[in-house]
Amino acid sequence: MNCVEQSNETKGSMAQKRDNITLLRNLNAEQRKAVEHVDGPNLILAGAGSGKTRVLTHKIGYLIERKKSPPQNILAMTFTNKAANEMKERVVQLIKGDIRGLWIGTFHANFARILRKNCEKLGYSYNFAIYDESDQLSLIKAIIKDLDILPASKVSPKGIHSKIKFLKNANVTFDEFEKIYQGYVDESLRLVYSHYTKRLKDNNAMDFEDLLLKSIELFTLFPAVLAYYQNMFRYLLVDEYQDTNRLQYDLLKLLSAQYRNISVVGDDDQSIYQWRGADIRNILEFEKDFPECTIFRLEQNYRSTTNILKVAHSIISHNVHRMDKELWTKNDCGEKICLKIATDAYEETNFIIQKIESEIQLNQRNFSDFAILYRINAQSRVIEMALKNSGINYVIIGGVRFYARKEIKDVLAYLKVLVNPKDSISLRRIINYPQRGIGAATFEKIEKYSLQKNISVFEAMKKINEIDSISQTKRQGISEFIYLIEKYLQLKSSISTGELIPALIDDLGILSDLKKEGTHEAYNRIENIRELMFSINEFIKQNPELTLENYLENVALISDIDSLDNKANAVSLITLHSAKGLEFPVVFITGLEEGLLPLARQMAYEHGLEEERRLFYVGVTRAKEKLYLSAAKFRRQPNDNSNGSVSRFLNEIDKSLIEIDRNSYHHASPASRDTQTAKSIIEMENSNQSTARLKPGMLVRHPRFGTGVIRKVDGIGEEVKAYILFEELGEKIIKVKFCKLEILS
């Protein structure tokens, strides 16, 4: 009997070894160490193209197969749905077993899931709406209009929206905001933030930031709920940790407090989202937060040529605030990086077109092998025109998304109301679509009545006959609208989603109206609505257990990169920020000029130059085989036709890695050709800003941050910094060289 038991043990041990070999196959030594380290905190510094997704998926597989962890005890956080779906697919392929219960999703999706189950404790119902950027802005505009005490013409809805987002991402609720910033900000921000918070709650809605902010509130007010999820999630894995903000950091600290089995994967050199709240200190100080942590460095790159990596390192090594690492590869050395200093943006685009055509002819490449990267969206116009004129297919990543198109948002607004009738923003959108003769003024009267009676807008519509200021004709239109909505609210529980939506669209007569219109644009809209119906059916077919609510949540959380069509044979036009996470055989980085890359307005921030350098580094590391860099001596910009100097970043590249293209791509005289040499790529300009006059106590105006008082000034020459207490945003450190401060007194 003992022999049999020993034999079974031996067989089990052999099977386990086979499982380990399969799980750890194709991993390099450092990747393998990172995968096998599952107990206790660990930081995986994963350089660009170093196989971080492979490490994360193998780590999940290792936990399930080797450590026998139930899938429901694992929580994996990503930043895009695309990354989450890719991770799920890879885990399924890797372990070929049941992964039901495994939590893989974006921060917002995972915490939305937690809130759906627990939000009633916070006064919300489970079917709460998630407001996208457009919905949020619409609500803020409505609030500004309602608050008669505000000079609406002088208040920027986008500006206030941006400030509220910034505060929320910093984990500053309205109540905390009132305590901390009282007297330091203008009254309009305080009023709008207050009403925005209340109106969201009244609408049974949350914005993106609320999905995290309300989760913290839930865990703080209800320790038993926190304890439940702490015990459930024994292993936490976080992708792109360098992009986390204060809210995400606080949530991870809370959830990992019991077991401390937290694996974070990231690259401080790719931290490029400070402007939307990302805090690079989260990754730089991980060791301080978890003193017992183990650090793994993934430095072998599987994407790029040696020359491209050398260029990337020569750039990023100029940053002071970074963790030491240097990427290397077994790939070929590759060609030198091609640099073109064009006379203007038109020659720059002609250069790009010619290089694309040449690459296709000589190397049999497809359009989809190319990406053109730029710092700001305005740069794309000239590029688009040139591509169109040359007959080159292109796609703009981060342009008008499918779900942001008017006809799609109109139909989705109907679906949102069927899920959550309290959603006043969606009601406002559809009340007169299709036309019912009910304008904005009528809706505002209904909204005002709802506020007076402390009821939802939908309930106020039901009491339309009690609102004397609304005419009988308009009351009739509103009554018909209410009848339609209530009809489909009832149908929603008796027929499938696949039957409900075509019936609603047919009842509304949207498609027939568009057919009558008969324009090219109208037919495009018809196709888009049909595509929407198809996407809903596909979602329900693939996820039969999910509902219309789940579909709408999925749509609300889609990002630009999620909508990238990898099958489209087209050149990709992308901002540098949107390019993160992507790779292409051939990459063009355009606009390498002072003021554009690095961007002038970013230089006002402390460490702004380092973030701009990281952004350039991200662009460079998107290239697999060839990298082209370009700048223009003259670039026409809105309200500014300027002769610029070439970016300082070019001067940081090892000159032996660069080959200057001296050909002319203009139909102009040879005198316009670039004569600059590799040795003197950049002519640095001294700042014209006079700093000698800046004194503590002075009242100054910043072009972006508004009015503030200088607390102190230090540094000399180009390194002068002013510590300014701004009325709206508190204290900021401003590098004077890059910012024109107007002295008021």
- Given a cut of 60, whether residue 3 has pLDDT beyond it is no
d(CA 732, CA 728): 11
d(CA 406, CA 404): 6
pLDDT, the chain, mean:
86
State which H helix or E strand residue 733 sits in.
Answer: strand 730-735
Residue 134 CB contacts under 8 Å (≥ 6 apart), including other chains? 404, 409
Decide which of 186 and 65 is more confident. Answer: 65
Total tally of structural domains belonging to the chain = 5
Asked if residue 491 and residue 537 are part of one domain, the reply reads yes
Report the CATH number that the domain containing residue 414 is assigned in CATH: 1.10.486.10
pLDDT class of 602 with cuts at 50, 70, 90: confident
Residue from 423, 493, 507, 411 nearest 459 by CA: 423
What's the pLDDT tens digit per position in 46-60? 999 999 999 999 999
Asked if residue 351 and residue 254 are part of one domain, the reply reads no
d(CA 745, CA 743): 6
Contact 555, 130 (CB under 8 A): no
d(CA 637, CA 378): 8
Residue from 422, 420, 427 nearest 443 by CA: 427
The confidence score (pLDDT) of residue 1 equals 38
Asked if residue 615 and residue 540 are part of one domain, the reply reads no
- Given a cut of 90, whether residue 733 has pLDDT beyond it is no
Does the residue 6 lie in any domain?
Answer: no
Does the residue 487 lie in any domain?
Answer: yes
d(CA 62, CA 43): 17
Q: Which residue has the tokens 């740069």?
A: 379
Residue 622 is among the residues annotated as catalytic for this protein: yes
Residue 592 CB contacts under 8 Å (≥ 6 apart), including other chains? 616, 629, 630, 631, 646, 647, 649, 650
Which range, 103-117, 269-283, 466-480, is most confident? 103-117
Contact 258, 233 (CB under 8 A): no
Give the number of other CB atoms < 10 A from CB of residue 208: 20
Asked if residue 739 and residue 607 are part of one domain, the reply reads no
The angle that helices 406-419 and 472-491 make with each other, rounded to 10 degrees, is: 70
Decide which of 513 and 97 is more confident. Answer: 513
Mapped onto helix, strand or coil, the DSSP state of residue 732 is strand
List, in sequence order, the alpha helices (H) in 170-207.
174-181, 187-202
User: Catalytic: which of 30, 31, 32, 52?
Assistant: 52
Asked if residue 491 and residue 424 are part of one domain, the reply reads yes
The confidence score (pLDDT) of residue 103 equals 96
The confidence score (pLDDT) of residue 11 equals 45
pLDDT class of 12 with cuts at 50, 70, 90: very low
- Given a cut of 90, whether residue 697 has pLDDT beyond it is no
Q: Cα-flanking dihedrals φ and ψ of residue 342, to 5°? A: -90, 160
Asked if residue 364 and residue 505 are part of one domain, the reply reads no
Mean pLDDT of 150-179: 83
Q: What is the DSSP string of 91-149?
A: HHHHH-S--TT-EEEEHHHHHHHHHHHHGGGGT--TT-EEE-HHHHHHHHHHHHHH-TT
Asked if residue 516 and residue 376 are part of one domain, the reply reads no
Does the residue 531 lie in any domain?
Answer: yes
Domain residue limits at 739: 698-743
- Given a cut of 90, whether residue 380 has pLDDT beyond it is no
- Cis peptide bond prior to 502, omega within 30° of 0: no
Q: Which two tokens stand for residue 303?
A: 């994407």
Q: Which residue has the tokens 């959550």?
A: 420
Does the residue 287 lie in any domain?
Answer: yes
The confidence score (pLDDT) of residue 490 equals 93
User: Catalytic: which of 19, 22, 36, 53?
Assistant: 53
The confidence score (pLDDT) of residue 664 equals 83
Percent of the chain with pLDDT over 70: 88
DSSP state for residue 646 in the 8-state scheme: B
Q: Which two tokens stand for residue 643?
A: 């002769």
Does the residue 284 lie in any domain?
Answer: yes
Mean pLDDT of 589-599: 93
What's the pLDDT tens digit per position in 94-139? 887 778 899 999 999 999 999 999 999 999 999 999 999 889 999 9
pLDDT class of 187 with cuts at 50, 70, 90: confident
User: Catalytic: which of 239, 410, 423, 610?
Assistant: 239
User: Catalytic: which of 31, 80, 248, 270?
Assistant: 270
Decide which of 438 and 13 is more confident. Answer: 438
Residue type, 509: G
Does the residue 153 lie in any domain?
Answer: yes
pLDDT class of 603 with cuts at 50, 70, 90: confident
Q: Cα-flanking dihedrals φ and ψ of residue 691, to 5°? A: -105, -10
Least confident of 109-113, 480-484, 675-679: 675-679
Residue 173 is among the residues annotated as catalytic for this protein: no
Percent of the chain with pLDDT over 90: 57
Mapped onto helix, strand or coil, the DSSP state of residue 680 is helix
User: Catalytic: which of 132, 207, 210, 240?
Assistant: 240
Does the residue 691 lie in any domain?
Answer: no
User: Catalytic: which of 622, 624, 635, 737?
Assistant: 622
Residue from 457, 556, 560, 501 nearest 135 by CA: 556
Q: What is the DSSP string of 312-364?
A: HHHHHTT-SSS-----B-SS---PPEEEEEEEEHHHHHHHHHHHHHHHHHHH-
Which range, 335-339, 343-347, 462-466, is most confident? 335-339
What's the pLDDT tens digit per position in 612-634? 999 999 999 999 999 999 999 98
Residue from 232, 332, 301 nearest 54 by CA: 301
Asked if residue 621 and residue 490 are part of one domain, the reply reads no
The confidence score (pLDDT) of residue 446 equals 94
The confidence score (pLDDT) of residue 696 equals 80
- Given a cut of 80, whether residue 568 has pLDDT beyond it is no
- Given a cut of 80, whether residue 150 has pLDDT beyond it is no
Mean pLDDT of 496-503: 89
The confidence score (pLDDT) of residue 715 equals 64
Asked if residue 181 and residue 235 are part of one domain, the reply reads no
Asked if residue 578 and residue 487 are part of one domain, the reply reads no
Residue 270 is among the residues annotated as catalytic for this protein: yes
- Given a cut of 90, whether residue 486 has pLDDT beyond it is yes
Decide which of 60 and 518 is more confident. Answer: 60
Report the CATH number that the domain containing residue 223 is assigned in CATH: 3.40.50.300
- Given a cut of 50, whether residue 10 has pLDDT beyond it is no
Residue 239 is among the residues annotated as catalytic for this protein: yes
**Pick from 168, 203, 238: which residue ends a domain?**
203
pLDDT class of 183 with cuts at 50, 70, 90: low
Residue 423 is among the residues annotated as catalytic for this protein: no
Asked if residue 331 and residue 439 are part of one domain, the reply reads no
**Pick from 233, 263, 298: which residue ends a domain?**
298
Asked if residue 235 and residue 154 are part of one domain, the reply reads no
The confidence score (pLDDT) of residue 717 equals 53
The confidence score (pLDDT) of residue 5 equals 38
pLDDT class of 700 with cuts at 50, 70, 90: confident
